[in-house]
Structure 1
Amino acid sequence: MSPQPARKQVDGRPTTLSIGQVIDLLRPDFPDVTISKVRFLENEGLVTPERTASGYRRFSGSDIDRLRFILAAQRDRYLPLKVIRTELAQLDAGVADGSTSTLPIGGRGESVPGSEPGDFRPAKATRLSAEMVAAESETTVAFVEQLVEAGLIVPGRAGYYEAEAAIIAKTAHELSEHGVEIRHLRSFRTAASRQADVISSIASPVAGRKDPDAKDRAAELVREVAALSVTLHSTLVTVNVRRELDR
């Protein structure tokens, strides 16, 4: 009797995986991924795993690749699903190769520090000290402390900072080189807080609904509204500055 053909493997596992196995596979890179999240993405039509005769989901290697792409786009570029859906359609059509999946939304040129999320995200530490923020942002601890006093960077209860603190410090430092003082940045903080309040008021009712996808839908709504608000804000600033210069 001829030998049975070996089953194909995906990352050392059988060719198709259950949803629980997929979560175990993705969690090292995406600690917040849940079964509910994957089901939500399936309901949105972004991933279509096979179903067994008894109705269980079975994910192929390509399904897992799509999930990685989606989760990375949400985490690293904060993209809403409608933008990710377009990118996936381009990948499926062979129009794109997925090489932009690690670039932040509105990425600045490759020669500019901060053009990729990895420029500031520490490799291992999830909590940054003031010294680490200063090192990541190529500034000084004194400058970081000034940002804290101005309310632009807020430490957690244990006194540590999130990775975004380094991005804020780096950007604030670059602005200071153009004559923008920290006291001027308080208006940016105030505007951001007001926008966050508006977005939260829109998303909170969605998150409070009694359905398993409520929190994921709320998070998606936040991404979409936040992306639109950034576009609106930058456009309004551009228009107003142009008018001032044309006077």
Structure 2
Amino acid sequence: MLQTPSGGADTGTAPADGRSMSIGTVLNLLRDEFPEVTISKIRFLESEGLVEPRRTPSGYRKFSQRDVERLGHILRMQRDHYLPLKVIREHLDALERGEPLQLPAASQGARQPGSLDGGAEAAQDGPTAARVGRAELLATAEVSEVELAEWESYGLLAPSADGGYDIEAVTVARLIAELGRFGLEPRHLRIMKASAEREAGMVEQVVAPLRLHRNPQTRAHAEASARELATLSVQLHAALVRSALRSQER
């Protein structure tokens, strides 16, 4: 059953009478659950045929409540299961036919290739469930081949031996593009990459003993701890940057 993204007084709510919504209203509804969603992302999903809002005679998009639920379902499958768009489309088609969805467990999508707790199952499922191909990266992040090649030359992104990318590469590519709008070039961002690698190394030092434990629950706790530490690290980094900016304004 599709879940409807929650809305709030500050973020916009769906019309109670079932009237159609603008793309801006839809964006506000989705952002409660999906803070990183953008209008460009919604338009891209439309261009891929995953959602089909009605168009007014003047060309404006008008989304129904069903469209919003469908978008929430798509974004949830990407976030929780790391599914590529082709597979998401197949699941949506099955849902339209009234068939039950057979989704992988959310923890499988989060498992990294080569992790100690994955075994043969990780080798089989991890690289495909949590990775995207080059073409899909370009399309989903809405960047050009020239841009991606330049970012790779500076070490900001890198494909694996099979030519695929970690799912986070999509977010990295989008953020690099957004920073570029402010004049920040790839050479300026190398310091951020180096800092991220140092933080990742620090997190790995904390959880490494847990990953080696024989108890599967302890190893699962290591993965959860790594994610929590990463979130706290990002929050601390953001707070430190804001503090530094305020200091410079004084």
- Give the TM-score normalised by the residue count of structure 1: 0.52
Q: Equivalent residue for 1:217?
A: 221
**1:131 pairs with 135, 139, 143, which one?**
135
RMSD: 3.4
Q: Distance in 2 between matches of 1:176 and 1:148?
A: 15
Q: Equivalent residue for 1:38?
A: none
The DSSP-based 3-state class of the residue aligned with 2:233 is helix
Q: Deviations over 1:49-78 (max 9, x none)?
A: xxxxxxxxxxxxxxxxxxxxxxxxxxxxxx
The DSSP-based 3-state class of the residue aligned with 1:178 is coil
1:119-158 to 2 correspondences below 5 Å: 122-124=84-86, 126=128, 127-158=131-162
User: Which deviates further from its counterpart, 108-117 or 166-175?
Assistant: 108-117
Q: Distance in 1 between matches of 2:191 and 2:232?
A: 20
1:113 CA displacement: 4.5
Please state if 1:203 is matched with 2:133: no
Going by fraction, where is helix more abundant, 1 or 2?
2
CA contact (8 A) 2:210 2:218 kept: yes
Q: Distance in 1 between matches of 2:32 and 2:204?
A: 27
Change (3 A) 1:168 1:110: closer
Q: Distance in 1 between matches of 2:162 and 2:214?
A: 34
Q: Equivalent residue for 2:190?
A: 186
1:235 CA displacement: 0.2
Gaps of 5+ in 2: 2-28, 43-71, 88-127
CA contact (8 A) 1:130 1:160 kept: yes
CA contact (8 A) 1:122 1:163 kept: no
Q: Which has the larger radius of gyration?
A: 1
The DSSP-based 3-state class of the residue aligned with 2:216 is coil
> Larger relative contact order (C-alpha < 8 A, sep ≥ 6)?
1
Aligned residues: 149
Q: Equivalent residue for 2:33?
A: 103
- Give the TM-score normalised by the residue count of structure 2: 0.51
The DSSP-based 3-state class of the residue aligned with 1:155 is coil
